[in-house]
A and B are shown apart, each in its own frame.
Chain A
């Protein structure tokens, strides 16, 4: 039998003082009961716990009863609830999901920690750690990033180690001959009534698959494996159509989305008049803004599947982690 909101609230108020002191319960509230992953239309008393345990692992006084005054309870694992951590602040050790940047940029996101040759490195984007190719090995990386008040040397956390250069599309060709040919072609199109128009472009030598870089922490103790609000990475995964994903980023924090397109070839703007084309990207719905670049993207089993680097009003573009790891020679 379904109960109305008032009676459930009344039962909650009465039982709250009994539920909250239980060792595992961190919050109580009213919500629709979820049974086998599906929301039902029955209102329930929701007990948020740090983690779900079998009844036999709990002392009788720490067990949440199946119902209170005839109203069902629902136990939900939310983890430990902490005061909101400022992602743009200086944090030591710095976890994934916080502000970071090369000394000459604004700020991006510290993605996660990775391994190379037995050592630990910070993973983020080239345009966050290597100033879009305009940087040298050893350059200072600040946490928080300069726009969030990070200054050298006080906030110096790491040194640029390596990056995959981004190949930018050249502006329209300066070649006089090509421009002449195009003018003739376009005149021809106009004559035959076709709406098609051609334009000259320089072909780029290689296609980009990643916007990625790594930096070496000045001391291992300055960084930490966890990603804010996500926790630890459980392994490597692969993004495919429909994969539910999450990221933890400097600007929009913890957000979730879904892989809506794969095998995406996309033109990405890097400031006025500078564009780079990327292939084999993942496209998710809107789940990021400026400053979230470099966020690690994980599936719902906490497997790392990508590196966020770009987006529009209604899309987020993600490098496949397979390409990031192979191009930089990384492991977890």
Chain B
């Protein structure tokens, strides 16, 4: 019986912990920072930033050097609740 109570307490405490995390969602900048390195390692990805969609909502924008069907197919439409847009910005060069 004591063991069951202890197990219940552990469950309860861990669920409070999870709840706490859910109450503090990550900002779009935190989500972008977390995922940018893996996108930038994909062929043709030249940039990852935060922009706005036509409606004014903040979105994560992934810039490609040109049409890259394989890379595009592997990019998500959303990341942790934030929309992801793909833009062809071309190769970026020092000017």
Which A residues are closer than 8 A to B by beta carbons? 108, 125, 127, 132, 195-196, 198-199, 201, 211, 241-242, 260-271, 277, 281, 283, 288-293, 308-315, 317
Q: In the complex, which of the residues A265, A268, A289 contacts B36, with contact meaning CB atoms closer than 8 Å?
A: A265
In the bound complex, do residue B32 and residue A311 qualify as a contact, i.e. CB atoms below 8 Å apart? no
Q: A261-B49, A312-B91, A313-B90 are in contact. List 13 more A-B contacts (CB 8 A).
A: A132-B94, A195-B74, A263-B29, A265-B36, A266-B47, A266-B49, A267-B92, A268-B92, A311-B93, A314-B89, A315-B47, A315-B63, A317-B92
Question: Which of B32, B49, B90 has the most chain A CB within a 10 Å cutoff?
Answer: B49
Cβ of B46 under 8 Å from chain A: yes
Q: Residues of A contacting B45 with CB < 8 Å?
A: 267
Q: Residues of B contacting A127 with CB < 8 Å?
A: 94
Which residues of chain B (1-43) have a CB below 8 Å from chain A? Answer: 29, 32-33, 36, 40-41
**Complex-state Cα separation, A16 to B89, whole angstroms:** 47
Q: With A195-B73, A199-B41 known to touch, is A265 a contact of B92 (CB < 8 Å)?
A: no
Q: Residues of A contacting B94 with CB < 8 Å?
A: 125, 127, 132, 211, 268-271, 293, 309-310
Q: Residues of A contacting B51 with CB < 8 Å?
A: 241, 260-262, 283
Q: Residues of B contacting A201 with CB < 8 Å?
A: 41
**Complex-state Cα separation, A267 to B90, whole angstroms:** 11
Q: In the complex, which of the residues B47, B48, B52 contacts A242, with contact meaning CB atoms closer than 8 Å?
A: B52
Q: Write the B47-59 contact mask toward A (1 if CB under 8 angstroms, else 0).
A: 1111110000010
Q: Write the B62-77 contact mask toward A (1 if CB under 8 angstroms, else 0).
A: 0101000010011000
Size of the chain B interface, CB-CB below 8 angstroms:
29
**Complex-state Cα separation, A288 to B95, whole angstroms:** 8
Q: Residues of B contacting A291 with CB < 8 Å?
A: 95
Q: With A269-B93, A308-B95, A313-B90 known to touch, is A263 a contact of B32 (CB < 8 Å)?
A: yes
In the bound complex, do residue A267 and residue B52 qualify as a contact, i.e. CB atoms below 8 Å apart? no
Cβ of B61 under 8 Å from chain A: yes
Closest partner residue, chain B, to A261 (CB atom): B49
Q: With A211-B94, A310-B95 known to touch, is A196 a contact of B74 (CB < 8 Å)?
A: yes
Nearest-neighbour CB distance to chain A for B12, whole angstroms, equals 38
16 contacts across the A-B interface (CB closer than 8 A)? A125-B94, A195-B74, A199-B41, A241-B50, A261-B49, A264-B49, A265-B36, A267-B92, A277-B40, A283-B47, A283-B89, A290-B93, A293-B95, A311-B92, A311-B93, A313-B89
In the bound complex, do residue A261 and residue B61 qualify as a contact, i.e. CB atoms below 8 Å apart? yes
**Complex-state Cα separation, A294 to B5, whole angstroms:** 68
